Structure 1
Amino acid sequence: MKKETEQLWASEKYTVMAKGYNLYKEVQGLMRDAQTNADYEKVTMLIAEMKKKPFERRALCNTLEHVWGYFKKSAEEVDKEHFFSLLNTLRESDEEYYDETPYEIDLFLQYLLQKYPSEYLSRSTFIKN
């Protein structure tokens, strides 16, 4: 159960972070302290509940900056400029909550992942494949 929960957390970490940083920290703490199958089951159920919540704009922007860290060393300047243009548009949006990552951003993340592969990010549910 421990290994499965750790794999689940690795794949859902950025999705949960984009729902709310406090939610991310809650799961991170539970993962750190988990010892029994019941503990890991609780984490699994909590992740499932959090996935139902909408993305918070501020948390989504923070998560995008974290994800950008996987690309920043290899990304061309044109890709960097486009990414931060999309991020700034999101930051300036009047919407506070999103049911999903805005389409243009999601599409660009897929492009970045294809152009600058990351095995870890490819397993993340945050970037749709």
Structure 2
Amino acid sequence: MSDLSHDERLTLTKRTMSLLESWNLSATDMMVLLQLPESVKARNIARFREEEPFPDSAEVNRRVSYLLRIEEALQTYFPRNPEMRDMWVKRGNKQFGKRAPVAVMVEDGESGLISVLSHLDCTFAWDLTGSKTAYEAAG
């Protein structure tokens, strides 16, 4: 997000906050999931809903990117049923040892975000494995 304007960053922040709130995450879980700096306190998380973009750090930007890709993948999985998107994230899943995907993301940090995104978006998993590079080299 470093190359985005303040208004563009604020729009992405609001979109991300809306997503996290739809998953009923606490302020503390949001802070952990986004890896917000220690200077941001849980009681101040509300400021990101309206007036202030997330801190412009590589860690936060990467996690926001994962979350927005997860949101897009869920929209592909459940195009006509937004309630199912939120329900899928909150329900235990065999793929994650019967843990809810949202728990995987919060408890496992960045690797949890990557696991959930890889499960939902096969193109992301394909890029991660190097298959894309091998495919392009063969072509």
TM-score by length of 1: 0.34
Which of the pair has the greater relative contact order for Cα pairs under 8 Å at 6+ separation? Answer: 1
